[in-house]
């Protein structure tokens, strides 16, 4: 149902067994009409006009959700998505780490893209992501915080123990070892670890 010029999600109740729903590149402004589709594992709603995450927290089987290139200003309404692993929120209007607070309520989140938003408050960046220890891949490029934060890559690699990919580069076990040494004792400790 992508590229169909749809403005509303409706009349899907008869399809209660579907596992994936493609609704990208339409004119959808609200997430609705998914109440009966509790078996959904993947929903693709990128490139619409959605301004609020709503009416999805009953989709407890959801593993992947793509809401990139919409008009989101806040990450909310995701409580209950205990199996959600892949979340793409790139290209939205998120401006602060506080706007992303509900990400810490996703116990299975492993792949997160927040690229090309306007997140600029680098002061809380490392503490916030340090709370999401399930992350394997994190994409933040295109946000002011990446350039503003001191030792951006080292700080995130040191704090996220399961991280295997950060932005456009892989993270290896040795990267974790060096970053953790740096965090614990500065440049001298990192040099000794190397």
pLDDT at 174: 97
Stretch 19-30: mean pLDDT? 97
For residue range 5-19, what is the model confidence (pLDDT) as tens digits? 999 999 999 999 999
Structural domains present in the chain: 13-193 (3.80.10.10)
Number of Cβ within a 10 Å radius of residue 183 = 17
- Quick one: pLDDT band at residue 45, thresholds 50, 70, 90? very high
Nearest alpha-carbon partner for 68 in 44, 100, 85, 84: 44
The whole model's pTM is what? 0.94
Distance (Å, rounded) from C-alpha 7 to C-alpha 156? Answer: 39
pLDDT digits (tens, 9 = 90+) for 70-100: 999 999 999 999 999 999 999 999 999 999 9
């Amino acid at each position: 149902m992508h590229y169909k010029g749809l403005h509303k999600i409706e009349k899907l109740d008869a399809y209660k067994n579907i596992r994936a729903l493609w609704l990208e590149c339409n004119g959808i402004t609200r997430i609705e009409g998914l109440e009966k589709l509790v078996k959904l594992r993947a929903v693709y709603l990128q490139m619409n006009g959605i301004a609020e995450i709503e009416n999805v927290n009953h989709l407890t089987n959801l593993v992947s959700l793509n809401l990139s290139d919409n008009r989101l200003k806040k990450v909310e309404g995701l409580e209950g998505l205990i199996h959600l692993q892949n979340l793409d929120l790139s290209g939205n209007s998120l401006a602060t780490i506080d706007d992303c607070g509900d990400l810490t309520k996703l116990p299975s989140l492993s792949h997160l893209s927040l690229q090309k938003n306007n997140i600029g408050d680098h002061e809380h960046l490392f503490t916030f992501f340090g709370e999401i220890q399930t992350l394997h891949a994190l994409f933040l490029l295109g946000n002011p915080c990446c350039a503003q934060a001191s030792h951006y890559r080292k700080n995130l690699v040191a704090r996220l123990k399961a991280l295997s990919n950060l932005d456009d580069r892989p993270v290896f076990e040795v990267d974790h070892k060096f970053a953790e040494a740096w965090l614990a004792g500065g440049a001298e400790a990192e040099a000794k670890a190397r």
